[in-house]
């Protein structure tokens, strides 16, 4: 974003010119006082104007001091104040990559992963292509952490792992891939079909060594995810009685606990910490602990869930009164399910992204930056053609279209 510089202009000379000497003449009579007793109006000298300005400045300083005292005494937290600035979007950098059908994107640290039906590509934080391979996939998908991306074919048998140094490794799944996740600490969990069982869940450590297997004989498994500390596994599954999150210690073979709900289909499960989780459904978010004990529930109040994103210790929901999501309400929830803030949008959301303590929303012609409590911090306008948005650690946003991405600052 270009910085605007204000140029100080002063048309007054530093030293006023000396007034010309006047010839002596007859003394003028003093103007008599007015009827009210006030002296007649006289022309103000520069000294009078300077004095008035000094007095005005002192009054303003006194007013500001009173405001600061009032803020301190009322325990008002000025750190929570944010200033939103609407700016015409001007790209600072542009990245180019191959286009293709079935295109998906994901953020890898400050880099960008791109997958299509014909291949995969990984760009670093400077926009350089560190890896690009031809890998045919029917349903391309990406799972990531800060250091590497896992490209896979959902419903197929192709898995390729690429890190930001350009190193490429391939994995051979046991059978057709049902789901694949990567934890914050880099543990890869692959759920596949497996003959004689409903599913097989395998966990690989960050070096891609197999460290855990669980064969499901009675439940249909949707996904698995390892905890942030790399010690526990949550497996989202379905039974004839409802949804269930099964909890495992990776150092033990037996299931440790479970959280079950009836008549509700859980869509996703997320670890906030080693002992705090939440599960998302189409009607509500349910919070529970590592022992399978219910903690809290946030209900959508009849609205439709149109999107969600996890940040550092919080969850952002996009809710709409309409299935199409032509207008939305953003809701931010902390790790215990307590509402932190709301924001209204009058247009549908193209992409919702969260990172650390900020939220980025891409709509049809704008990108909006929020704090984790949904206070607007900035807005870029005049945007068209983008379908993915990600936040980077330097306070920048990367917006991606079909064959290029652009970097913007708020």
Instruction: Provide the whole-model pTM.
Output: 0.78
Q: What pLDDT, on a 0 to 100 scale, did the predictor assign at position 85?
A: 58
End-to-end CA distance of the chain: 7
Percent of the chain with pLDDT over 70: 79
Q: What pLDDT, on a 0 to 100 scale, did the predictor assign at position 19?
A: 44
If pLDDT is split at 50, 70 and 90, which confidence band does 75 have?
very low
Classify 155 in phi/psi space as left (phi over 0), alpha (psi -120 to 50) or beta: left
Q: What pLDDT, on a 0 to 100 scale, did the predictor assign at position 324?
A: 82
Pairing between β-strand 276-281 and β-strand 266-273 as defined by DSSP bridges: antiparallel
Assess whether pLDDT exceeds 60 at residue 66.
Answer: no
Q: What integer is the mean pLDDT of 114-135?
A: 95
Assess whether pLDDT exceeds 80 at residue 11.
Answer: no
In the block, residue with structure tokens 């490209």: 151
Neighbours of 289 (CB within 10 A): 16
Assess whether pLDDT exceeds 50 at residue 26.
Answer: no
**262 burial via Cβ count (<10 Å: 0-12, 13-18, 19+):** exposed
Q: What pLDDT, on a 0 to 100 scale, did the predictor assign at position 45?
A: 52
Are the C-beta atoms of 350 and 370 separated by less than 8 Å?
no
Q: What integer is the mean pLDDT of 310-334?
A: 94
Q: How far apart are CA 261 and CA 285, in angstroms?
A: 12
DSSP 245-285: EEEEETTSSSEEEEEEEES--EEEEEEEETTEEEEEESSEE
Which stretch of 103-107, 273-277, 323-327 has the lowest confidence by average pLDDT?
A: 323-327
If pLDDT is split at 50, 70 and 90, which confidence band does 59 have?
low
Average pLDDT, the chain: 84
């Amino acid at each position: 974003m270009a910085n605007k510089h204000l140029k100080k202009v002063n048309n007054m000379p530093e030293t006023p010119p000396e007034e010309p000497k006047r010839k002596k003449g007859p003394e003028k009579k003093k103007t008599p006082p007015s009827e009210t007793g006030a002296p007649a109006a006289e022309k103000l000298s520069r000294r009078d104007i300077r004095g008035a300005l000094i007095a005005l400045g002192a009054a303003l300083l006194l007013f500001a001091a009173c405001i600061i005292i009032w803020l301190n005494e009322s325990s008002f937290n000025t750190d929570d104040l944010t200033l939103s600035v609407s700016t015409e979007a001007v790209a600072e950098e542009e990245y180019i990559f191959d286009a293709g059908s079935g295109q998906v994107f994901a953020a890898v640290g400050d880099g960008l992963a791109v997958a299509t039906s014909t291949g995969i590509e990984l760009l670093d934080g400077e926009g350089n292509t560190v890896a690009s391979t031809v890998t045919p996939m029917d349903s391309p998908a990406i799972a990531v952490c800060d250091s590497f991306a896992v490209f896979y074919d959902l419903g197929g048998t192709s898995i390729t792992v690429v890190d930001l140094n350009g190193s490429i490794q391939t994995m051979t799944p046991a059978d057709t891939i049902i789901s694949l996740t990567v934890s914050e600490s880099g543990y890869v969990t692959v759920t596949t079909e497996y003959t004689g069982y409903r599913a097989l869940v395998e966990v690989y450590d960050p070096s891609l060594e197999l460290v855990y297997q669980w064969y499901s004989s009675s439940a249909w498994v949707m996904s698995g995810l390892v905890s942030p500390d790399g010690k526990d596994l949550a497996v989202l599954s379905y039974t004839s009685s409802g949804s269930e999150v099964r909890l495992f210690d990776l150092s033990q073979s037996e299931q440790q606990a479970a959280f079950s709900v009836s008549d509700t289909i859980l869509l996703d499960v997320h670890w906030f910490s080693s002992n705090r989780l939440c599960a998302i459904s189409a009607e509500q978010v349910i919070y529970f602990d590592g022992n399978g004990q219910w903690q809290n529930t946030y209900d959508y109040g009849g609205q439709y869930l149109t999107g969600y994103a996890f940040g550092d210790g919080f969850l952002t929901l996009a809710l709409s009164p309409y299935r199409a999501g032509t207008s939305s309400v953003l809701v931010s929830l902390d790790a215990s399910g307590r509402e932190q803030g709301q924001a209204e949008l009058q247009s549908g959301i193209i992409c919702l992204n969260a990172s650390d303590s900020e939220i980025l929303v891409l709509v049809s012609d704008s990108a909006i930056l929020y704090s984790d409590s949904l206070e607007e911090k900035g807005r870029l306008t005049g945007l068209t053609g983008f379908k993915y948005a990600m936040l980077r650690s330097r306070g920048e946003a990367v917006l991606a279209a079909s064959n290029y991405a652009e970097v913007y600052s708020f």
